[in-house]
A = this chain, B = another copy of it.
Amino acid sequence: MPVFLTTNDADFEARFTDLLNAKREDSPDVDAIVAGIIHDVRTRGDAALVELTNKFDRMDLTAADLRITDAEIEAAVATVSDEERAALELAAERIRAYHAEQMPEDKQWTDAAGATLGWRWSAVSAAGLYVPGGLASYPSSVLMNAIPAKVAGVERLCITVPTPDGQINPLVLLAAKIAGVDEIYRVGGAQAVAALAYGTETIAPVDKITGPGNAFVAAAKRRVFGKVGIDMIAGPSEILVIADKDNNPDWIALDLLSQAEHDESAQSLLITDDADFGRAVAAAVDKRLETLERRAIAGPSWRDYGAVIVVKDLDEAAALSNRIAPEHLELCVADPVALSEQTIHAGAIFLGQYTPEAIGDYIGGPNHVLPTARSARFSSGLSVMDFIKRTTLSQMTPEALKAIGPGAAVLAKSESLEAHGLSVLARLEKLNR
């Protein structure tokens, strides 16, 4: 049984704060190891990459084997069932359509002073996506990372994916193919991140690295940040469901378990205005846990980090939700749209009882790479914006410079930056002659 709180409890605030601050993830300090790996790949290139891959993934590669060939990709994807292929294609199409809507417009205007101002967006030239190997090698994540990059206009998109003992998920390769990925390399860990950031003889460097990974990958991404761009450092998954009593407790239980089954550190929270409904959901979770394939993961997650919180009304629910700033927020209430206008700190909102969060993981269209660990307070999920950048544009006419230049010269002087001021004044001198 997880925590069961009501906002009426005398100790509610203390217990809720504990819940917010619970450290769910032990990040081992692997920074020194990662620094060594990055240095090794930077200085020795392919030789280091091959050695590290052979060691960690128990392989016997040469540099010539690092890239997965088109023939290997075709052979693997031929093993995928028609049903799975169709589902991946539908997902890809929907994700592409959603992300195409995100492309922002360039803008330019001339203001009253005669200054023409604006900006222009352009794509990152080359991006690298890290795809984990083994259990967490999700084809859906390949689509969610690769499609926004391609919609944004990234010319060269490559994937690194470790293939421990030579194993690779054919669905990952198919997802990469459908998404239009240009190059795939069988490397993982900090060494893959180093190769993407600094390049080796075989892997040309990229400008931006995205995608989830273990502690080594996360530490490597932090280290190469600045040399290249990175996406967020994602933590364990979370869901908050706000539900009133007019819901099927079993559906809500499954929604909670669909996060809990990801990871023992995942967090599933229910806020409801009906204590009996809360108890019914908890009972439904327990029942499902009896048979769930991943009960050994979902059980501890629910027991250790799950919670049912009973509130007096939905306003209170919205206020708590904003303090939690959940990655995923399901609103299973009579008027979910109205409630969504109050719940402003959330990565993704799923409205109404026919929108289980799992739809968003796979096929809804919005991205499933979302801010965790309360970072929805200040950050957004992955989008085309992660693969484009803005260049600001300014053009002064002589008249515009005469109108606003003197102000710039005053401010330059006040900051003791003489050349700044002179660069304006020298031009004004000619214009005023």
| Chain A residues near B (Cβ < 8 Å) | 83-84, 86-88, 90-91, 94, 97-98, 101-102, 104, 107, 109, 111, 115-117, 119-120, 122, 124-125, 135, 138-140, 171, 207-208, 222, 226, 228-229, 233, 248, 250-251, 254-255, 257-258, 260-262, 288, 292-294, 298, 336-337, 340, 344-367, 370-371, 373, 375-381, 383, 385, 389-398, 400-401, 404-408, 410-412, 414-424, 426-427, 430-431
Question: Are A380 and B375 also in contact (CB < 8 A) when A119-B366, A394-B366 are?
Answer: no
How many angstroms from the CA of A407 to the CA of B24 in the assembled complex?
Answer: 32
- Report 16 cross-chain contacts, Cβ distance below 8 Å, ordered by A residue: A86-B407, A87-B406, A119-B366, A229-B375, A251-B427, A258-B422, A349-B393, A351-B395, A354-B397, A358-B408, A358-B421, A359-B394, A362-B408, A379-B389, A381-B390, A385-B385
Chain B residues near A260 (CB, 8 Å)?
419
- A83 adjacent to B364 (CB under 8 Å): no
Chain B residues near A355 (CB, 8 Å)?
394-396, 401
- A109 adjacent to B104 (CB under 8 Å): no
Chain B residues near A362 (CB, 8 Å)?
407-408, 411-412, 420
- A411 adjacent to B378 (CB under 8 Å): no
Q: Which residue of B lies closest to A84 (CB)?
A: B414
Chain B residues near A376 (CB, 8 Å)?
389, 391
How many angstroms from the CA of A419 to the CA of B253 in the assembled complex?
Answer: 9
Chain B residues near A401 (CB, 8 Å)?
354-355, 359
- A419 adjacent to B288 (CB under 8 Å): yes
Chain B residues near A381 (CB, 8 Å)?
390, 392
Chain B residues near A420 (CB, 8 Å)?
258, 261, 358, 361-362
